[in-house]
Amino acid sequence: MYGVCGCCGALRPRYKRLVDNIFPEDPEDGLVKTNMEKLTFYALSAPEKLDRIGAYLSEKLIRDVSRHRYGYVCIAMEALDQLLMACHCQSINLFVESFLKMVAKLLESEKPDLQILGTNSFVKFANIEEDTPSYHRSYDFFVSRFSEMCHSSHDDLDIRTKIRMSGIKGLQGVVRKTVNDELQANIWDPQHMDKIVPSLLYNLQHTEEAESRSPSPLQTTEKEKESPAELSERCLRELLGRAAYGNIKNAIKPVMIHLDNHSLWEPKTFAVRCFKIIMYSIQPQHSHLVIQQLLGHLDANSKSAATVRAGIVEVLSEAAVIAASGSVGPTVLEVFNTLLRQLRLSIDYALTGSYDCAISGGTKIIKEHEERMFQEAVIKTTGSFASTLPTYQRSEVMLFIMSKVPLPSLHHPLDTGRAGENRNRLTQIMLLKSLLQVSTGFQCSNMLTALPSSFLDRLLSATLMEDSEIRLFVLQILISFIDRHGNKHKFQTISTIGDISILKLKVDKCSRQDTVFMKKNSQQLYRHMYLACKEETNGRAHYEALYCLLALTSIELANEEVVVDLIRLVLAMQEVALVNEDNLPLYSRCALYALGAAYLNLISQLTTVPAFCQHIHEVIEMRQKEAPYLLPEGVFAEKPRLSRNLDRLGPEILFRQSKISEVLGGSGYNSDRLSTPYVPQLTDEDRLSKRKSIGETISLQVEVESRNSPEKEERAPAEEITYETLKKAIVDSVAVEEQERERRRQVVEKFQKAPFEEIAAHCGARATLLQSKLNQIFEITIRPPPSPSGTITAAYGQPQSHSIPVYEMKFPDLCVY
């Protein structure tokens, strides 16, 4: 080796002689350590020679590689590593250039051992903190080469594993070297992220399909450390943990593209695992950026297969749970708007059966069961997002979802036609399901602010719809709102329990806010419960939901006035079953009797009035002997026990309003109110429900007409307001209200039961009266101006006084717009 120099060897530069001396005659002897120490001391003493030492070592290594003298190659790399670790001077940049050139030469080799050797040297270099930055150094080649090594397909499994491991370590070294140095090449550029992230995911997916084991890397055994999947996960966590706010998008986008290209959304196991790693690794304040990226990707794939969209939504659901309070970020409603928009699109796809597919250039047939699976995934995800929100934001979300539900309204007409009705029904069901998910676990101290009237009005109006499934959802949503102490599961089945203490109910005193809420909304709530119980299509689930709603209202929101009204409401339900004006099925009538028995048994034990409890228990015992088909144990069983003799029931098996009023009145309850039968207030919702009879609709119109008729146009003079007047108004307000309800009930009954000829005659008389008034008005308005004498002669020759100007005339109320 040294014979070439001959006698002139001593004339060569000293650094070359020192470099030559570290190589033994036999490469198997390894690096000559004593000579290596001399070379290191020389490099530290004369740092200006370091770049020349590096260039000379590089020259020797390239020559040895080309001559396949791999032993000397290993010695040269070992020497380079030692010099690199020992020297930290300002002139090291030129030495690093020579070092990287040699590493690149090794990585270009086809020999796996040389590739691994070069990678190990680069990893050592990556762990060195340089004192001076380099403005012109580029790592593009190393990113590309290490990414290629991560996808190695060598025939030998062990060699393939080693090459992939080296590629992952190399990428990890590039990230460590560049990620924290702004003067280095920007590793977060899409051109680099599009290579690094897919390479890591490629190795991560070649492992057993299992969820990520921990939110942070655990200490692993040596065997696990040798796994490319484990190393890829550790590298990916490190990469994402270093990502700043502006780099999240560039790091997440390649993940979604990789999942698209390899069809990994559909099994969704690997996709969920990837995003668990992402959500646990990034900084918590950046979580909402990942959610926004996923939502945008969902919109971009709105015409993809339902299984793909369902996978994206499932990942969204898992990510929201991990991110907790920071998952939604500042755009709360935008998240739910995107989910609801996808829900509507899915409903349209399921109804039409196809959609335009730009990729295939034709029409893609849609499987209805896949769309149903996607819809359920969206509903679940909506609930996952809502569970991370504070109470005030969840209330806003519920208002937002309810505003999207298509309901019969004067201002928002529904789609017409059979297709439109199907679309409306599916949209109503899916949105109410979403609302039920959001309302689950909802707790608030002030229901008046959390559930404003605009929300309750729309929600309760859905109880008047024909579809029994929709009505059941509304009842379940109301139960979720009212149940703030977790009592609803204790009322899932209807029964007459002898001692309710075994239920271990959590009962708190009704707060002032709850009292105000019930004062404002109680009558509306009672009315919709009353109308809901009269539906012919009600099933067992509906009556169980009604019982649960009544029970929870008694526990959560009840004061003495509410208790009285609830008892009156349940007695009115018993009257509905007894009179049967609506021709209810036999099961519905028995169910109403059983519902009343179960609730009165519960409320009697809650009020703890002995006489009241005794009356209720006497009736229940009598029913157990003579009419078990009127108790919940007989009606709400797998095989209901029904009887057709409901029209001949004795008074001893019915709950009597007079008796209840008497026993509760003696304990301080309002006996006058208790003795008054409950009559619901009718509103415009009945005319929009599409279910009410024509007689009811006409009765409402005639009632309005009678109140505004010309016969009452002469108003009484204003009464002087005194203390006695106000006192009298307060005392008589309840009685006046009940009289008004009774008058309305009589009007409704008249138009329901009266013969058609009588109704026609009544309406004809009203029309004749109105026409005569109109004729008088027209006669006055078209009269000629008065004569100079001050009078005019009518057609019958009788003098009349001066005509009254039009603006001074009194018109009937119905004629004034």
Per-residue pLDDT at 257 exceeds 50:
yes
* Alpha-carbon distances, residue 36 vs 78, 93, 291 (angstroms): 10, 21, 55
Banded pLDDT at 762 (limits 50, 70, 90):
confident
* Alpha-carbon distances, residue 648 vs 345, 433, 641, 645, 654 (angstroms): 54, 42, 17, 6, 12
Which of 364-368, 656-660, 730-734 is predicted with the least confidence, judged by mean pLDDT? 730-734
Per-residue pLDDT at 220 exceeds 60:
no
User: What 3 state SS string does 535-584 have?
Assistant: CCCCCHHHHHHHHHHHHHHHHHCCCHHHHHHHHHHHHHHHHHHHHCCCCC
Task: From 287, 141, 315, select the one nearest 212 (Cα to Cα).
Answer: 315
Question: Taking a C-beta distance cutoff of 8 angstroms, is the pair 530, 573 a contact?
Answer: yes
Residue range 530-557: average pLDDT?
A: 92
| Cα(259)–Cα(270) distance, integer angstroms | 9
Q: What pTM does this model have?
A: 0.71
Residue 8, pLDDT score: 53
To 5 degrees, how large is the angle CA 569–CA 733–CA 562? Answer: 30
Per-residue pLDDT at 234 exceeds 90:
yes
Of the chain, the percentage scoring pLDDT greater than 90 comes to 30
Residue 780, pLDDT score: 73
DSSP lists the bridge partners of residue 793 as 799
Banded pLDDT at 807 (limits 50, 70, 90):
low
Say how many C-beta atoms besides its own lie within 10 A of residue 89's C-beta: 14
| Cα(284)–Cα(216) distance, integer angstroms | 13
Banded pLDDT at 423 (limits 50, 70, 90):
confident
To 5 degrees, how large is the angle CA 286–CA 290–CA 293? Answer: 135
| Cα(173)–Cα(253) distance, integer angstroms | 22
Per-residue pLDDT at 796 exceeds 50:
no
Residue range 68-88: average pLDDT?
A: 81
Query: Quick check: helix, strand or coil at residue 170?
Result: helix
Structural tokens at position 251: 């790091």
Structural tokens at position 615: 């009356």
Residue 433, pLDDT score: 92
Residue range 51-78: average pLDDT?
A: 83
Q: Residue with structure tokens 């009558």?
A: 523
Residue range 404-417: average pLDDT?
A: 64
Residue 218, CB half-sphere, CA atoms under 13 Å: how many? 7
Contacting residues for 768 by C-beta, under 8 A, at least 6 apart: none
Which residue type occupies 364? K
Structural tokens at position 233: 């996960």
User: Which helix (H) or strand (E) covers residue 800, if one does?
Assistant: strand 799-800
Residue 363, pLDDT score: 52
| Cα(177)–Cα(210) distance, integer angstroms | 32
Burial readout 655-684 (b: 16 or more C-beta within 10 A, e: otherwise): bebebbbbbbbeeebbbebbebebbbebee
DSSP per-residue letters across 656-690: -HHHHHHHHHTTTS-HHHHHSPP-PPP-THHHHSS
Residue range 546-550: average pLDDT?
A: 94
pLDDT in tens, 324-355: 655 555 667 888 889 999 999 999 888 887 76
Contacting residues for 734 by C-beta, under 8 A, at least 6 apart: 672, 673
Residue range 172-189: average pLDDT?
A: 76
Banded pLDDT at 651 (limits 50, 70, 90):
confident
pLDDT in tens, 652-707: 899 999 999 999 988 888 888 988 999 887 665 554 444 443 334 333 333 433 44
Residue 759, pLDDT score: 78
Banded pLDDT at 223 (limits 50, 70, 90):
very low
pLDDT in tens, 280-294: 999 888 888 898 899
Residue 308, pLDDT score: 92
DSSP lists the bridge partners of residue 355 as 364
Per-residue pLDDT at 802 exceeds 60:
no
Which of 49-58, 399-408, 707-716, 739-748 is predicted with the least confidence, judged by mean pLDDT? 707-716
Q: Which residue has the higher pLDDT, 729 or 197?
A: 197
Helical ranges in 206-268 per DSSP H: 222-225, 228-241, 248-261
Residue 374, pLDDT score: 92
Banded pLDDT at 92 (limits 50, 70, 90):
low
Question: Taking a C-beta distance cutoff of 8 angstroms, is the pair 557, 514 a contact?
Answer: yes
Contacting residues for 409 by C-beta, under 8 A, at least 6 apart: 688
Mean pLDDT in the chain? 79
| Cα(418)–Cα(428) distance, integer angstroms | 15
Residue 10, pLDDT score: 57
Q: Which residue has the higher pLDDT, 136 or 443?
A: 443
Say how many C-beta atoms besides its own lie within 10 A of residue 537's C-beta: 12
Structural tokens at position 121: 């040297």
Contacting residues for 355 by C-beta, under 8 A, at least 6 apart: 303, 349, 363, 364, 366
Query: Quick check: helix, strand or coil at residue 363?
Result: strand
Which of 237-246, 450-459, 677-686 is predicted with the least confidence, judged by mean pLDDT? 677-686
| Cα(355)–Cα(361) distance, integer angstroms | 11
| Cα(730)–Cα(711) distance, integer angstroms | 29
Banded pLDDT at 2 (limits 50, 70, 90):
very low
Residue 806, pLDDT score: 56
Structural tokens at position 178: 């560049």
Which of 131-135, 166-170, 475-479, 509-513 is predicted with the least confidence, judged by mean pLDDT? 131-135
Residue range 244-268: average pLDDT?
A: 91
Per-residue pLDDT at 421 exceeds 80:
no
Residue 811, pLDDT score: 60
Which residue type occupies 569? L
Banded pLDDT at 789 (limits 50, 70, 90):
very low
Which of 98-102, 420-424, 486-490, 492-496 is predicted with the least confidence, judged by mean pLDDT? 420-424
Question: Taking a C-beta distance cutoff of 8 angstroms, is the pair 539, 475 a contact?
Answer: no
DSSP per-residue letters across 3-67: TTTGGGGGGS-HHHHHHHHTS-SSGGG---HHHHHHHHHHHHH-GGGHHHHHHHHHHHHHHHHHT
Say how many C-beta atoms besides its own lie within 10 A of residue 254's C-beta: 20
Q: How far apart are the first and last CA of the chain?
A: 116
Supply the DSSP symbol for 799: E
| Cα(138)–Cα(100) distance, integer angstroms | 10
Structural tokens at position 237: 């966590």
Say how many C-beta atoms besides its own lie within 10 A of residue 59's C-beta: 14
